[in-house]
């Protein structure tokens, strides 16, 4: 099915909803949906770390991205201040670094101190200049106002080197690596709380790839050494690289059964694709995300039961995004150049709507997902693109910024009464995808809505069953006529938020969500 076509089905009738043939829609028609909330039906506190990001030594993410010495827009440390400002606008509590595939052949010791040499990066076939490393990243984090989330190399290195990095970053002792940090200009520890035990070690493309049993033992040993130096850290074991892997969930089960008591998180990764250019099916991607989270909920419950443990392991969804336009072949081969342009995906409206659904899923599963990282942030499959004279915010930047700012407090479980459509392999899917947050201190509610329809606006009625809505708050919407519409350097505001419409009458709040659109209703006051 080509882009812009609706599935050949009819909308299902739900209560007062109109029965409309999808292929014969009157553009003036307006669908109705109802979202019911109750503060007793919730999945717990939303962890702000679900709005984290990811920087990897890949393409122009670092060099020419966040770090550009000599540029008029860079500070005395070589950090691009315009990029840092854009990153600060995303309100990210932490950022994962330095990889990604890069980390599995990276010796962090090469990236500290004054005696640094370039080296070949086999992950992306580039020449790494090695002028940006651990200490530079820590400076960048302070400038942006985010916390570091470090990954250690469990591919070509092992537990001892991982523990040494913890010593370098976190210890205030007179020992070798803590003293080396002081000698390198950082008197106080960096105090890194979150640590990834390798990256995608299930993947044959990964340097040091090994069977699950071998990785699990290596990760457990690393975890014990690292936590022995700093008992306060949180550890993330490498889970499956994606649902497409033949070892999906079996790999994770092995790792969890071996490492359960030594970790806090298991990682999950997914990159969504619309290679078939089927917009209606692509816009049902949230169904897949929900399915993956259900898989991990079941798996972690199973292992916890088998081990008869009171300990919990949560999900760190530490790589997620849309990625397919610039994938494979020359787009991932750096030809041994320094900072080449690789995987510079151009994001459009439909991509932004899928990203919003990722975040809806994470919010709804606040009981399971405690960390999630948009991959990546600058130039490489990124929210922000750079050139020497400035930056361009891509379409996916805006949903992230809106969600991270407004999704605070308790995650409420939405009951959605809504017309559906046939999304092909993904079945019958609601036109409206929703999540909600509730601030128990102020009584304020935020409602996050995505309209998957390509040609039908939807009026959403909020039914709050245990509270009264007394204030409508504000609504931001993002939409467009063409799902392929993207921001460009010449037209940077093709896909940006604008003020939306809501109405509060007799305690009933309605919010209009345009076709091919999303809406964030914030500051809804209740009592």
User: What positions carry a catalytic annotation?
Assistant: 200, 319
Residue position matching structure tokens 């359960």: 260
Q: Please choose, from the candidates 299, 342, 295, the residue with its C-alpha nearest in 3D space to the C-alpha of residue 102.
A: 342
**What is the per-residue burial (b if ≥16 Cβ within 10 Å, else e) of 232-246?**
ebbbbbbbbbbeebe
Q: Is the distance from CB of 403 to CB of 409 less than 8 angstroms?
A: no
Rounding to the nearest 10 degrees, give the CA dihedral for residues 154, 159, 165, 168: 180
The CA–CA distances, whole Å, from 123 to 64, 126, 374 equal 19, 8, 20
How many whole angstroms separate alpha carbon 177 and alpha carbon 161? 11
**Residue 477: HSE in the Cβ half-sphere, 13 Å Cα cutoff:** 17
Who's near 428: CB < 8 A, 6+ residues apart?
Answer: 12, 420, 421, 422
How many whole angstroms separate alpha carbon 137 and alpha carbon 158? 22
Q: 3-class SS at 316?
A: strand
Structure tokens belonging to residue 219: 């990760």
Q: Is the distance from CB of 517 to CB of 451 less than 8 angstroms?
A: yes
């Amino acid at each position: 099915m080509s882009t812009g076509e609706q599935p050949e089905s009819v909308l299902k009738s739900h209560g007062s909803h109109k029965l409309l043939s999808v292929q014969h829609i009157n553009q003036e028609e307006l669908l109705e949906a109802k979202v019911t909330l109750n503060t007793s039906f919730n999945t717990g506190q939303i962890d702000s770390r679900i709005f984290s990001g990811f920087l990897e030594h890949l393409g122009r993410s670092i060099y020419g991205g966040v770090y550009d010495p000599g540029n008029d827009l860079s500070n005395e440390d070589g950090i691009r201040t315009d990029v840092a400002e854009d990153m600060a606008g995303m309100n990210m509590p932490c950022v994962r670094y330095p990889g990604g595939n890069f980390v599995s052949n990276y010796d962090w010791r090469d990236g500290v101190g004054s005696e640094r040499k370039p080296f070949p990066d086999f992950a992306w076939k580039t020449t790494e200049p090695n002028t940006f490393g651990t200490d530079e990243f820590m400076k960048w984090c302070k400038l942006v106002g985010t916390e570091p989330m470090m990954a250690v190399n469990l591919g070509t290195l092992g537990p001892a080197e991982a523990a040494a990095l913890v010593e370098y970053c976190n210890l205030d002792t007179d020992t070798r690596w803590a003293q080396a940090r002081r000698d390198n200009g950082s008197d106080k520890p960096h105090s890194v709380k979150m640590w990834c035990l390798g990256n995608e070690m299930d993947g044959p493309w990964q340097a040091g790839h090994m069977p699950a049993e071998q990785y699990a033992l290596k990760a457990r040993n690393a975890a014990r050494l690292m936590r022995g130096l700093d008992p306060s850290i949180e550890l993330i074991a490498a889970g499956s690289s994606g649902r497409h892997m033949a070892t999906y969930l079996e790999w994770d089960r092995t790792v969890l059964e071996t490492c359960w008591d030594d970790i806090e998180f298991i990682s999950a990764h997914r990159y969504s694709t619309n290679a078939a250019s089927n917009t209606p099916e692509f816009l049902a991607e949230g169904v897949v995300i929900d399915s993956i989270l259900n898989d991990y909920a079941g798996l972690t419950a199973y292992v916890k039961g088998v081990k008869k443990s009171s300990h919990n392991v949560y999900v760190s969804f530490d790589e997620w995004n849309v990625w397919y336009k610039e994938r494979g072949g020359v787009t991932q081969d750096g030809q041994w150049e320094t900072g080449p342009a690789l995987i510079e995906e151009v994001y459009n409206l439909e991509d932004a709507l899928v990203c919003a659904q990722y975040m809806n899923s994470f919010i709804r599963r606040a009981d399971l997902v405690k960390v999630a990282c948009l991959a990546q942030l600058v130039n490489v499959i990124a929210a922000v693109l750079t050139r020497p004279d400035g930056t361009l915010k891509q379409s996916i930047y805006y949903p992230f910024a809106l969600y991270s700012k407004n999704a605070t407090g308790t995650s409420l479980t939405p009951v959605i009464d809504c017309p559906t459509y046939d999304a092909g392999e993904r079945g019958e899917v609601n036109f409206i995808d929703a999540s909600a947050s509730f601030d128990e201190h102020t009584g304020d509610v935020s409602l996050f809505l995505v309209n998957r329809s390509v040609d039908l606006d939807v009026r959403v009625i909020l039914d709050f069953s245990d509270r009264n809505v007394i204030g409508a708050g504000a609504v931001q919407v993002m939409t467009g006529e063409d799902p392929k519409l993207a921001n460009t350097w010449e037209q940077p505001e093709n896909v940006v938020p604008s003020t939306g419409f809501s109405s509060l009458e007799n305690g009933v709040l309605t919010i209009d969500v345009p076709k091919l659109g999303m809406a964030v209703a914030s500051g809804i006051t209740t009592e």
